[in-house]
Amino acid sequence: MLRGVMVAAAMFAAVPAMAGEMSGDEAKRWVTGKLFSYNCFEGTRGAGRVFADGSVIGTVQFQGSGPVRRAFLPANTLRVKGGVVCASLKGLPIEPCFNLVKTDSNSFRGSISGLGFAYCDFKHSNPRALMVERVSERPAEKPMTLRPSLSAAE
């Protein structure tokens, strides 16, 4: 259950231009449609995008090891309620809400209200830069060579 809440928190949080805690409406305006990478207090990490309808698409790797899994949360999973961002997850008896605090111009921390130790750090990500990083992490491939029968010498 806590993992689901952390994934939801990880996918929806944002910061206005000024440092400090922000309201749910500010978070919604700033985060909608943007890609964020996140790292959580217990090692969970991933990336995701929140849409205007409160749905989320992204990835998650629990506790920083094992397979990277796709995460899809339906419309109205994340919503502004009483001025804060809350998550509605099937099977969870409560609707957790989040404290959102800016840490720099592209980063913020989202924690579960009342559980400050349970947080994720978010960073606005450039999808093109992530693609370049993934390509550069691949091992070098062997150069392609022509078979003698196809060489220009014939």
**β-strand partners of 35:** 49
Strands (E) in the chain, as ranges, are: 20-21, 35-40, 45-50, 56-61, 69-73, 78-81, 84-87, 97-104, 107-112, 115-124
Q: What confidence score (pLDDT) does residue 17 get? A: 39
What pLDDT is stored for residue 40 in this prediction? Answer: 95
Q: Percentage of residues in the chain with pLDDT exceeding 70?
A: 69
Residues 6+ apart with CB under 8 A from 80: 24, 25, 27, 28, 86
Neighbours of 33 (CB within 10 A): 8
Domain ranges of the chain: 2-127
Q: Which tens digits make up the pLDDT trace of 9-27?
A: 444 433 333 467 778 888 7
Lookup result for tokens 């078979």: 147
* pTM of the predicted protein model: 0.66
